[in-house]
A and B are shown apart, each in its own frame.
Chain A
Amino acid sequence: AQTVTQSQPEMSVQEAETVTLSCTYDTSENNYYLFWYKQPPSRQMILVIRQEAYKQQNATENRFSVNFQKAAKSFSLKISDSQLGDTAMYFCAFMKHAANFGNEKLTFGTGTRLTIIP
């Protein structure tokens, strides 16, 4: 079974600064996907960024980038030029590669509550 660990329950940072959220995972799989999801207060969870394990290049989406270290089973999220709208709960999640139906469930960490301070 896979496990995902987020060791920072809460973080806060000044607006416009850079913040890094940590995530480690444990799996015996070789092919898998990693995600960061954002859950703003009272709003639905949305995908921030996605990484395929077979790709060595780190994924980037505008101000969001990841540092994927496959050997260390580490997957951190960096938010640059943080904005007030980045305030949310952030979940790291793991998904096995599955060519057949089933086994596409997301395994989530416990989340990091990020607050951007004006």
Chain B
Amino acid sequence: EAEVAQSPRYKITEKSQAVAFWCDPISGHATLYWYRQILGQGPELLVQFQDESVVDDSQLPKDRFSAERLKGVDSTLKIQPAELGDSAMYLCASSLVSGFGNEQFFGPGTRLTVL
């Protein structure tokens, strides 16, 4: 069964360092989402891509976060510089099409710890 892949699964870094997370969605899924899940809370959307285009990045802290999906397939989320408050689980999800309540399929996440 096809799954969303993410790497690394765990990342420990010091504050002010740069970190990057990678996501490979299910083949053929045009829509890709990055969510952040702080411990004890539900996930919150950071950015949504439709193919290679960003369609929603209203909650992305653009002074330190960036995301790209250059060929409309896999995606990278970067944080530079990392801050203590960035410690969280970063989840990637994909869906075949957007809209109409289509199911989003989630990856296993990258757990980031900033020291």
Binding site for B on A (CB under 8 A): 4, 32-33, 37, 42-47, 50, 52, 91, 93, 95, 97-106, 108-111
Contact = CB atoms under 8 A, between A and B. Distances in A.
B42 A102 contact: no
Contacts of B107: 44
Interface string B44-65: 1100101000011000000000
B98 A101 contact: yes
B85 interface: no
Contact of B42 (A43, A97, A100, A108): A108
Contact of B33 (A100, A101, A103, A105): A105
A104 B104 CA distance: 10
Given A44-B106, A44-B107, A45-B106, A99 B99 contact: yes
B67 interface: no
Given A102-B56, A105-B48, A110 B101 contact: no
Contact of A47 (B41, B55, B56, B103): B103
B48 A106 contact: no
Contacts of B33: 105
B112 interface: no
A32 B99 CA distance: 10
5 contacts: A4-B42, A33-B101, A91-B42, A102-B55, A109-B42
A96 to B, nearest CB: 9
Most buried by B among A43, A52, A104, A108: A104
A107 to B, nearest CB: 8
Interface centre among A32, A100, A103, A105 (most CB of B within 10 A): A105
B23 interface: no
Contact of A101 (B4, B55, B106, B109): B55
Nearest to A45: B106
Contacts of B42: 4, 91, 93, 108-111
